[in-house]
Amino acid sequence: MKKNKISPVILLIFFVGLISCEDKKPSDLTKENIIPKPVSITATGEYFTIHPETEITYQDKWTDLKPVSEYLAEKLRPATGFKLEVKALSQLPPAGIFLEIVGDQIVPEDESYEIHITKALLKLSAKSPAGLIRGIQTVRQILPAQIEFQEKQKGPWMIATGKITDKPEYSYRGAMLDVARHFFSVRDVKRFIDLISYYKINTLHLHLTDDQGWRIEIKSWPKLAEYGGTTKVGGGPGGYYTQDQYTEIVNYAKMVYVTIIPEVDMPGHTNAALSAYGELNCDGKARRIYTGKDVGFSTLCTRKKVTCKFVEAVIKELAALTPGPYIHIGGDESHATRKEEYAPFINQVLGIVKAQGKIMIGWDEISQANIKSGSIAQYWANSKNAATAVKKGAKIIMSPARKMYLDMKYDSLTRIGQNWAAYIDIDSSYSWDPATFATGISRENIIGVEAPLWTETITNIEDIEYMVFPRLPGIAEIGWTPAKNREWKEYRERLAGHSEHFKTMGVNYYPSKLIPWPSEKK
Ligand code: ACM
């Protein structure tokens, strides 16, 4: 190229740049790339701007709205560099951002919300603080993606005007993190909560114990964590959460109305416990610590009295740490448990969970027991098990492995993960309907969906993000948006448009070839 001539390519880039700067001015709310897709959006063709004097105000009669308003301010302050003062008000202000509860009382389980945006005012209305938090995630997504940067950006911070009315299809929208095969720090779990709550996921199931590690302090049985938590898959140091650390996680999740569900898997998947306390084995001998990946070889000695005492003590401490309604007791792949002892054991555990005032969840195998209405079976492998649970009156969480297991590889080239259930690329993960997926399980039996991430091959937060993104936003949409409003071809475009937010949030996502990503990350 000759020196002083401006290349046509550079000129083109310059003009495209000008056009995309113009495009920054939003004018059509219906064109925003929101995940999960809201129920209804109407546009009024103007725009609202957050500026240095903007205040975030909330109805003064609800003290619960203060932390919610503070949460929004904290999300917007770093990138805007604005003060965004939070104030209680007795009436609707003429300008700024206003959060309100509609009706005379808070309806905690109602997550619906409405956002009404005019040139001067952005009003967020809901029937509960949880609804306001879900609406705040939408506000974050309709702002320029730069809003997620942690350093001050130039702006401007404009939002197209109009109205969004939204509510979830399913009340239970979950993700599961296996902290047993590999242990993840409190900081990693908080990052995970930040990311899932951004997509309106409202439940985090922590798989706290397995053959390779026991990750929660139980004060009355201290060796469970102290010894049973020493290592991990492949060997090397493990770890566990003290009860204080665990409470820190629970409280962090509570801020964004995410319920933590603790799982202590039993009677199988218990080698860590069996290595810490010999008396839990039928022969009374402690097992060796296990760092492999096999499943189905361990079992508590279900007929021993001490086992019942152990289960009671563990569930009691766990229930005391759990403000949410659920305790997950595992129950899967108990191939080493005597067949005739499995169902009576689960029945016994159900009684213990109920006595603590909690609802029992178990993997679909628990349908062999005498579960009743009020219990929940999590469908992962066997639809007949899940259909049996339905017949017994239980509700279902849908987590079919070949659609929802986030540890499954995307394709044969994926560096980490497994493939025993399927290769799951974004289209397969997104394009299905929980209500029609399995015979004997229909819409009214299902409380929602949950995407589990097992961590045999996953060792750090970057790997977690790579397997979770971009599948989880699609799964969140399956839980939130009615099936009739979801369509793969439209979703892949919307996901591409939304992906700028992955970048500004620093998410390490898998750049699937199925998505028309807008920029260099192909
Ligand atoms: C499971 O994947 N074993 C529930």
The answer to whether residue 211 scores a pLDDT higher than 50 is yes
**Could you identify the residue written with the tokens 């005498």?**
370
Q: Which among 32, 55, 111, 333 is annotated as catalytic?
A: 333
Q: Amino acid letter at 514?
A: L
Cα gap 259→245, rounded to integer Å: 16
| CA-nearest residue, atom 3 of ligand 1 | 332
Count of helix runs (H) and strand runs (E) in the chain: 16, 17
Identify the residue with better confidence: 13 or 288.
288
Residue 333 in contact with ligand 1 by CB distance below 6 A? yes
What pLDDT is stored for residue 27 in this prediction?
A: 80
pLDDT at 22 over 50: no
Quick check: 522 pLDDT over 70?
A: no
Ligand 1 touching residue 379 (CB < 6 A):
no
Give residues with Cβ within 8 angstroms of 467, minimum separation 6: 406, 407, 416, 417, 453, 458, 510
User: In a mutational test of the pocket of ligand 1, which residue from 380, 402, 406 has the highest number of ligand atoms less than 8 Å from its CB?
Assistant: 380
Residue 374: the pLDDT is 85
**Mean pLDDT, the chain, integer:** 95
> Based on the number of CB atoms within 10 Å of its own CB, is 391 exposed (0-12), middle (13-18) or buried (19 or more)?
exposed
- What pLDDT is recorded for position 372? 78
- The DSSP code for 216 is B
- CATH 3.20.20.80 boundaries in the chain: 172-486
Helices of type H across 52-198:
65-80, 129-142, 186-197
pTM: 0.94
Whose CA is closest to atom 1 on ligand 1? 332
**Ranges for all domains in the chain classified under CATH 3.30.379.10:** 8-166
Q: How far is the CA of 321 from the centre of ligand 1 (A)?
A: 24
Instruction: Tell me the residue length of the chain.
Output: 522
Residue 412, Cβ density class (10 Å: 0-12 exposed, 13-18 middle, ≥19 buried): exposed
Q: Note the pLDDT tens digit of each residue in 246-260.
A: 999 999 999 999 999
pLDDT digits (tens, 9 = 90+) for 327-377: 999 999 999 999 999 999 999 999 999 999 999 999 999 999 999 778 999
d(CA 417, CA 119): 48
Closest ligand 1 atom, residue 454 Cα: 2
Provide the pLDDT for residue 21: 40
Which residues are within 8 A (CB) of 484 and not within 5 positions of it... i.e. 6 or more apart? Answer: none
| Cα(345) to centroid(ligand 1), Å | 19
Is the distance from the beta carbon of residue 380 to the nearest atom of ligand 1 less than 6 Å? yes
Q: Which CATH architecture has domain 8-166?
A: 2-Layer Sandwich (3.30)
From 406, 454, 455, 456, give the residue whose CB has the most ligand 1 atoms within 8 Å, as the site to mutate.
Answer: 454
- SS3 call for 106: coil
The CATH homologous superfamily to which domain 172-486 belongs is Glycosidases (3.20.20.80)
Q: Is 450 in the pocket of ligand 1 (CB under 6 A)?
A: no
User: Residue 151 has which token pair?
Assistant: 């350093």
Q: Which residue's structure tokens are 């394709």?
A: 411
Tens digits of per-residue pLDDT, 382-416?
999 999 999 999 999 999 999 999 999 999 999 99
168/39 Cα distance (integer angstroms): 8
Q: How far is the CA of 400 from the centre of ligand 1 (A)?
A: 10
CA dihedral sign, ordered 252, 253, 259, 263? negative
For this structure, is 456 an active site residue?
no
Q: pLDDT (tens digit, 9 = 90+) per residue, 168-199?
A: 999 999 999 999 999 999 999 999 999 999 99
